[in-house]
Structure formats: C-alpha cells, structure tokens
Amino acid sequence: MNAKTMNEDQLFGRDMKDKDFHTANYFLASFNPPNPPFGDSFTAEQVRYHIKESETSGTYRQTIGRILSPALQITVNIPSNMNPGTYPVSKWDSEKSPTTCMIAFIADGSIYRDVSGEITFDVNEQEKVLSATFEVNFNSSVVSGSFSMAVN
C-alpha cells in the first residue's frame, strides 16, 4: 500500500475550502470486499469539480468526492485534452497528473495512490456536465464508482 500522511490543511488545501464543495452533484463508489475505513460503499456529502493547471504538463479536470466525518475522500484527475472515452487509470504521480487518468483514496490522514484500473468519462458540452464510471483495484478491493458534475 502506498500512503503519504498529511494534515487536514495540506489534505484539503487552501483552494479547497468547504464553500467550494456542492451537494447537488453526486459521487458514489462501492467496495468489494468492504475496505476499511471506507466500508462497502461511499456516498459523497460534498462534491467539487475544478480545472487545475500544471506549469510542466498542462491542465487537467479534478473531481473530488468527500465525506466529512469520518474524513474520507476520493479524488479523480482526468487530463483536459483527453476526448471522452475509456482510459487506463495509472498509479498517482503528480508529475504525470495532467497526462494520465489517476484516482487517489484519502482516509485517516493518509493518501493511497497505488490504484490501477479503468475509467470511462463523457462531457456533455451543451449541458456542461462531466460524468464518469470507474472500476479500479485499491488495497485488495475492487472499487466500482460513478460521478456526475456540473462544470459551468
């Protein structure tokens, strides 16, 4: 398991305050077998979408689903220049973030980045909605999830 410990300020960052999260969108995941501390399912209380820029590699779409208590989070990065479709999910690497799809699980103050699998996403430009389904291997569990975000 690949984990990096961070405090809450580092975990959620200055640009990710509670006011930036929304409850109208959804972010769901199921874990088989159940995976502590996530259990067998994850339904985000707050969801956030934003574009992040990297000086070295360009920009990417970041979607975050978060539960406040206990503090749990799933973060998905999709490069901005990727067309809708199905792509492999790579092990999280901040240097590659804008060029590959990545998913990280955050729990108990630790970030788990050793995740592999597949994500399928679509962008409805007319309605300004990003939606995705994913299935990845994380910490001996198969995680199946989906999210839908307004991106205006």
pTM over 0.95: no
What are the residue ranges spanned by the domains of the chain? Answer: 3-150
For CA atoms 44, 48, 54, 60, the dihedral sign is positive
User: Is there a contact between 62 and 49 (Cβ–Cβ < 8 Å)?
Assistant: yes
Distance between first and last Cα of the chain: 36
Query: Phi then psi for 55, rounded to 5 degrees?
Result: -65, -30
How much is the pLDDT for 4? 34
**Residue 17: what pLDDT?**
40
- The pLDDT assigned to 48 comes to 84
pLDDT at 152: 61
Q: What is the mean pLDDT of each run of 10 residues along the chain (152 residues)?
A: 33 38 75 90 87 69 84 88 88 69 87 88 82 89 88 66
| Closest CA relative to residue 152, chosen from 28, 1, 51 | 51
Q: Is the dihedral of CA 78, 115, 65, 24 positive or negative?
A: positive
Ordered alpha helix ranges (H), the chain:
8-12
Q: Residue 13 region, left (φ>0) first, then alpha (ψ -120 to 50), else beta? A: left
Structure tokens at 22: 């929304």
